[in-house]
Amino acid sequence: MATKKIVLIFPKEKIDKPIVYHLVKDYNLVFNILKASITPDQEGHMALEVTGESTEIDRGVKFLKEQGVKVEPLSKDIKVNWDQCVQCGACVSICPTAALYIKDRKTMEVAFDPDKCIACELCIRPCPPRAIEVHF
Protein backbone atom coordinates (compact mmCIF):
# COMPACT_ATOMS: atom_id res chain seq x y z
CA MET A 1 0.00 0.00 0.00
CA ALA A 2 1.15 3.52 -0.74
CA THR A 3 -0.12 7.02 -0.04
CA LYS A 4 0.35 10.02 -2.30
CA LYS A 5 -0.76 13.63 -2.06
CA ILE A 6 -1.70 15.13 -5.38
CA VAL A 7 -3.36 18.24 -6.77
CA LEU A 8 -5.86 17.86 -9.59
CA ILE A 9 -6.49 20.79 -11.88
CA PHE A 10 -9.71 20.40 -13.86
CA PRO A 11 -10.17 22.37 -17.07
CA LYS A 12 -13.46 24.27 -16.99
CA GLU A 13 -15.15 22.01 -19.55
CA LYS A 14 -14.58 19.01 -17.28
CA ILE A 15 -15.82 20.30 -13.96
CA ASP A 16 -19.39 19.07 -14.47
CA LYS A 17 -18.25 15.48 -15.16
CA PRO A 18 -17.92 12.85 -12.42
CA ILE A 19 -14.29 11.78 -12.62
CA VAL A 20 -12.77 11.28 -9.20
CA TYR A 21 -15.20 8.54 -8.19
CA HIS A 22 -13.58 6.30 -10.85
CA LEU A 23 -10.50 6.18 -8.61
CA VAL A 24 -12.56 4.23 -6.10
CA LYS A 25 -14.63 2.21 -8.53
CA ASP A 26 -12.01 1.21 -11.10
CA TYR A 27 -8.69 1.42 -9.23
CA ASN A 28 -9.71 0.53 -5.68
CA LEU A 29 -8.16 3.70 -4.26
CA VAL A 30 -9.17 5.39 -1.02
CA PHE A 31 -9.08 9.17 -1.19
CA ASN A 32 -9.37 11.97 1.31
CA ILE A 33 -10.19 15.42 -0.07
CA LEU A 34 -7.88 17.89 1.66
CA LYS A 35 -9.15 20.93 -0.19
CA ALA A 36 -11.39 21.63 -3.16
CA SER A 37 -12.48 24.72 -5.01
CA ILE A 38 -14.54 24.53 -8.16
CA THR A 39 -16.12 27.68 -9.48
CA PRO A 40 -18.26 27.77 -12.63
CA ASP A 41 -16.44 29.13 -15.69
CA GLN A 42 -13.08 28.67 -13.99
CA GLU A 43 -10.62 25.88 -13.42
CA GLY A 44 -11.28 23.53 -10.54
CA HIS A 45 -8.63 22.60 -7.99
CA MET A 46 -8.68 19.60 -5.71
CA ALA A 47 -6.02 18.44 -3.28
CA LEU A 48 -6.29 14.69 -2.61
CA GLU A 49 -4.57 12.16 -0.47
CA VAL A 50 -4.88 8.78 -2.23
CA THR A 51 -4.08 5.42 -0.71
CA GLY A 52 -3.90 2.09 -2.52
CA GLU A 53 -1.59 -0.27 -4.41
CA SER A 54 1.25 1.70 -6.06
CA THR A 55 0.46 0.28 -9.50
CA GLU A 56 -3.21 1.22 -9.08
CA ILE A 57 -2.28 4.77 -8.01
CA ASP A 58 -0.16 5.10 -11.16
CA ARG A 59 -3.00 3.74 -13.33
CA GLY A 60 -5.48 6.04 -11.61
CA VAL A 61 -3.27 9.07 -12.24
CA LYS A 62 -2.88 7.98 -15.89
CA PHE A 63 -6.67 7.76 -16.15
CA LEU A 64 -7.08 11.28 -14.73
CA LYS A 65 -4.56 12.66 -17.22
CA GLU A 66 -6.42 10.95 -20.07
CA GLN A 67 -9.54 12.79 -18.94
CA GLY A 68 -7.71 16.11 -19.38
CA VAL A 69 -7.06 16.64 -15.67
CA LYS A 70 -3.63 18.04 -14.79
CA VAL A 71 -2.02 16.13 -11.93
CA GLU A 72 0.75 17.60 -9.82
CA PRO A 73 2.35 16.59 -6.53
CA LEU A 74 0.88 18.52 -3.59
CA SER A 75 4.27 19.74 -2.42
CA LYS A 76 4.16 22.31 -5.17
CA ASP A 77 1.31 24.12 -3.49
CA ILE A 78 2.86 25.73 -0.43
CA LYS A 79 6.16 27.49 -0.85
CA VAL A 80 8.24 29.34 1.69
CA ASN A 81 9.93 32.42 0.32
CA TRP A 82 13.11 32.12 2.38
CA ASP A 83 14.33 35.60 1.39
CA GLN A 84 11.22 37.00 3.01
CA CYS A 85 11.19 34.68 6.05
CA VAL A 86 12.49 36.29 9.26
CA GLN A 87 13.10 32.90 10.93
CA CYS A 88 10.83 33.65 13.89
CA GLY A 89 8.90 30.41 14.18
CA ALA A 90 5.38 31.85 14.54
CA CYS A 91 4.22 29.20 12.02
CA VAL A 92 5.51 26.10 13.80
CA SER A 93 2.89 25.88 16.53
CA ILE A 94 0.15 26.72 14.00
CA CYS A 95 1.08 23.98 11.51
CA PRO A 96 -1.04 20.90 12.34
CA THR A 97 1.31 18.37 10.69
CA ALA A 98 4.73 19.74 11.73
CA ALA A 99 5.57 20.39 8.08
CA LEU A 100 6.85 23.73 9.36
CA TYR A 101 9.21 22.86 12.17
CA ILE A 102 12.37 23.80 14.06
CA LYS A 103 15.18 21.90 12.39
CA ASP A 104 17.71 22.29 15.18
CA ARG A 105 16.89 23.47 18.69
CA LYS A 106 20.40 24.91 19.11
CA THR A 107 20.19 27.29 16.17
CA MET A 108 16.35 27.46 16.13
CA GLU A 109 16.33 27.32 12.34
CA VAL A 110 12.83 27.13 10.86
CA ALA A 111 12.43 24.58 8.06
CA PHE A 112 9.69 23.20 5.80
CA ASP A 113 9.05 19.57 4.88
CA PRO A 114 6.77 19.53 1.81
CA ASP A 115 6.04 15.80 2.27
CA LYS A 116 4.23 16.52 5.51
CA CYS A 117 2.30 19.55 4.19
CA ILE A 118 -1.44 19.04 3.63
CA ALA A 119 -1.87 22.52 2.12
CA CYS A 120 -4.42 23.56 4.76
CA GLU A 121 -3.08 27.14 4.50
CA LEU A 122 -3.43 27.80 8.25
CA CYS A 123 0.12 29.21 8.22
CA ILE A 124 -0.42 31.80 5.50
CA ARG A 125 -1.87 34.67 7.52
CA PRO A 126 -0.13 34.16 10.87
CA CYS A 127 3.28 34.53 9.15
CA PRO A 128 4.38 38.09 10.10
CA PRO A 129 6.48 38.78 6.95
CA ARG A 130 3.92 36.87 4.81
CA ALA A 131 6.68 34.60 3.53
CA ILE A 132 4.47 31.56 2.88
CA GLU A 133 2.89 31.43 -0.54
CA VAL A 134 0.22 29.28 -2.12
CA HIS A 135 1.00 28.17 -5.63
CA PHE A 136 -1.51 26.34 -7.77
Partner 1 sequence: MAKTIAEINEKIKKGQAVVVTAEEIIEIVEKKGAAQAAKEVDVVTTATFGPMCSSGAYFNFGHSKPKIKAGGGRALLNGVPAYTGWAAVDLYIGATALPDDDPRNKIHPGEFAYGGSHVIEDLVAGKDVRLLVEAYGTDCYPRKHLDTWINIKDLNEAVLFNTRNAYQNYNVAVNLSGKTIYTYLGTLKPNLGNANYCSAGQLSPLLNDPYLKTIGIGTRIWLGGGIGYVAWQGTQFNPHAPRTENGVPKRPAQTLAVIGDLKGMSPKWIKGVSFVGYGTTLNVGIGVPIPILNEEIAKHVSVRDEDIQCAVVDYSEAYPQGKPDVLGEVNYAQLRSGEIEVKGKKVPTSGISSYKNARVIAEDLKQQIKKGEFLLTEKVADLPAGENAPKFKPLNERPVRPEA
Which parts of this chain interact with partner 1 (CB under 8 A)? Answer: 86-94, 102, 105, 107-110, 125-126, 128-130
Tell me how far, at minimum, the Cβ of 120 lies from partner 1, in Å.
13
- Closest by alpha carbon to 136, among 90, 73, 58? 73
Tell me how far, at minimum, the Cβ of 116 lies from partner 1, in Å.
15
**Cα end-to-end span (Å), the chain:** 28
Nearer to partner 1, 15 or 124 (CB): 124
Tell me how far, at minimum, the Cβ of 75 lies from partner 1, in Å.
23
Nearer to partner 1, 41 or 107 (CB): 107
Nearer to partner 1, 15 or 120 (CB): 120
Query: How far apart are alpha carbons 47 and 74 in whole angstroms?
Result: 7
SS3 content of the chain, % helix, strand, coil (to 5): 20, 35, 45
Q: For residue 19, what are the contacts with CB-CB under 8 A and spacing of at least 6?
A: 10, 64, 67, 69
Tell me how far, at minimum, the Cβ of 2 lies from partner 1, in Å.
30
